[in-house]
Amino acid sequence: MPDELVHYSAADAVATVVLDSPHNRNALSRQLVSELSEALDRAEADPGVRVVVIRQEGPVFCSGADLSEAAGGSMEEGARGLIALLRRITTLDKPVVARVSGAVRAGGIGIVGACDIVVAAHDATFALTEVRLGLAPAVISLVLLPRMSSRSAAMTFLSGSLFTGTEAADNGLVTRAVMEEDLDTEIAGLCASLAKGHPQGLRETKKLLNKELIEHIDTGADETAALSARLFASDGAREAMLAFLDRRKPR
DSSP lists the bridge partners of residue 98 as 54, 118
Give CA–CA dist 212/223, Å, rounded. Answer: 18
Question: Which are the catalytic amino acids?
Answer: 130
DSSP lists the bridge partners of residue 120 as 100, 177
b/e per residue, 110-119, with b = 16+ CB within 10 A? bbbbbbbbbb
Count the neighbouring beta carbons within 10 Å of the beta carbon of residue 30: 12
Could you give the residue ranges of the DSSP H alpha helices within the chain?
30-45, 67-70, 76-91, 107-114, 141-144, 150-159, 165-170, 183-194, 199-233, 235-248
Give CA–CA dist 58/204, Å, rounded. Answer: 35
- If DSSP codes are grouped into helix, strand and coil, which group holds residue 97? strand
Q: Report the length, in residues, of the chain.
A: 251
Q: Give the DSSP letter of residue 2.
A: P
Positive or negative: CA dihedral 225, 173, 114, 68: positive
